Amino acid sequence: MANKSEVKLIGKWSSPYVTRVKIALNIKSLDYENFEENETFNPKSDLLLQSNPVYGKVPVLVHQHKPICESLIIVEYIDETWSTAPSILPTDAYDRALARFWAAYIDQKWFPSMQSIITVEGEEERKPYFEVMEEVVERLEDAFEKCSKGKPFFGGDRIGYLDVAFGCFLGWLSVIENEYDRKVLVEEKSPNLVKWAERFVDHPAVKGIIPETERLVKLSKALQIKWRAAIGNVQIFRSRFHGRKRKLVTRVYL
């Protein structure tokens, strides 16, 4: 057991990456102090900027005054530092490599597509991002069969690394499915994942950690405005930059 004052978590209630860390801490039955960042990061706290000066992002785990950043790295750190059972990462080297591969795949494909669905306007614009998510589900349905080996979770009899890596997004998935009236996890195509998701959210280490859909929906509407404005500013900058570039090129050739 860790002393609560030894472990601090800097995060946001809505972040799936912070949810990952909270679940990992619960799996190990660790006490910790939770430091909640402003939802819009306006401004970022001094604690966050001091703890993660490179990216200024959550989550950050501070253990004995030493900060650890990036959610998957933090989950591995928790598993290695508090090595008593239950373990989070698989004990077999090949199974560990496989779990890390799929976790990296999820981070590269899943959340960026979810964010794009919220950001873009129009059903046609959202279509390719839904297709990416459906492709991820198809691949993970197959991965579940191989990793679980017929047991309830990716980690076997208990939730493990890959369960945490994917399951942390279930709250935001619910937002996407409800707001845009399009199911991604459907029994006809991914029966194993549908049943897995039900088991996952009912697990003692997960209950009460994944944010409520209604609360996330309200936040998503605010983020939608923010993200679209950010994209608009980038487009304006690029337009002005290319305009100046054309003028410079003209002057050179004249």
Among 86, 80, 72, 59, which Cα is nearest to 159's? 86
Q: What pLDDT, on a 0 to 100 scale, did the predictor assign at position 46?
A: 95
Do 67 and 96 fall into the same domain?
A: no
Do 100 and 50 fall into the same domain?
A: no
If one counts the domains in the chain, the total is 2
- 3-state SS, residue 33: strand
Do 73 and 184 fall into the same domain?
A: no
Among the candidates 31, 60, 81, a domain finishes at 81
Do 17 and 64 fall into the same domain?
A: yes
Q: Where residue 42 falls among pLDDT bands split at 50, 70, 90?
A: confident
> Which tops the pLDDT comparison, 188 or 40?
188
Q: Which residue has the tokens 């090949």?
A: 94
pLDDT, tens digit (0-9, with 9 covering 90-100), for 190-224: 999 999 999 999 999 999 999 999 999 999 888 78
Do 73 and 190 fall into the same domain?
A: no
Do 58 and 113 fall into the same domain?
A: no
CA end-to-end span of the chain: 73
pLDDT above 80 for 249: no
Q: How, if at all, do strands 7-11 and 66-69 pair?
A: unpaired
Structural domain that includes position 216: 89-254
Over range 169-187, report the average pLDDT: 96
Q: What pLDDT, on a 0 to 100 scale, did the predictor assign at position 83?
A: 92
pLDDT above 80 for 245: no
Q: What is the DSSP string of the chain?
A: ---GGGEEEEE-TT-HHHHHHHHHHHHTT---EEEEPPTT-SSPPHHHHHH-TTT--S-EEEETTEEEESHHHHHHHHHHHS-SSSPSS-SSHHHHHHHHHHHHHHHHHHHHHHHHHHHS-SHHHHHHHHHHHHHHHHHHHHHHHHHHTTSSBTTBSS--HHHHHHHTTHHHHHHHHHHTT--SS-TTT-HHHHHHHHHHHHSTTTTTTSPPHHHHHHHHHHHHHHHHHHHHHHHHHHHHHHHHHHHHHHHHH-
Do 12 and 74 fall into the same domain?
A: yes
Do 241 and 201 fall into the same domain?
A: yes
pLDDT, tens digit (0-9, with 9 covering 90-100), for 19-28: 999 999 999 9
Q: What CATH number corresponds to the domain at position 35?
A: 3.40.30.10
Do 219 and 161 fall into the same domain?
A: yes
Q: What CATH number corresponds to the domain at position 114?
A: 1.20.1050.10
- 3-state SS, residue 153: strand
| Average of per-residue pLDDT values in the chain | 90
Over range 34-56, report the average pLDDT: 91
Among the candidates 81, 99, 124, a domain finishes at 81
Do 103 and 210 fall into the same domain?
A: yes
DSSP 209: T
Q: What pLDDT, on a 0 to 100 scale, did the predictor assign at position 241?
A: 55
Q: Where residue 89 falls among pLDDT bands split at 50, 70, 90?
A: very high
Over range 45-66, report the average pLDDT: 96
Q: What pLDDT, on a 0 to 100 scale, did the predictor assign at position 230?
A: 64
pLDDT above 80 for 181: yes
Least confident of 23-37, 134-148, 210-224: 210-224
Do 123 and 15 fall into the same domain?
A: no
Which two three-digit tokens encode residue 229?
A: 């404005």
DSSP 156: B
Q: What pLDDT, on a 0 to 100 scale, did the predictor assign at position 209?
A: 96
pLDDT above 90 for 228: no
Among the candidates 52, 81, 110, a domain finishes at 81
Do 51 and 128 fall into the same domain?
A: no
Q: What pLDDT, on a 0 to 100 scale, did the predictor assign at position 248?
A: 44
Percent of the chain with pLDDT over 90: 79
Q: What pLDDT, on a 0 to 100 scale, did the predictor assign at position 253?
A: 34
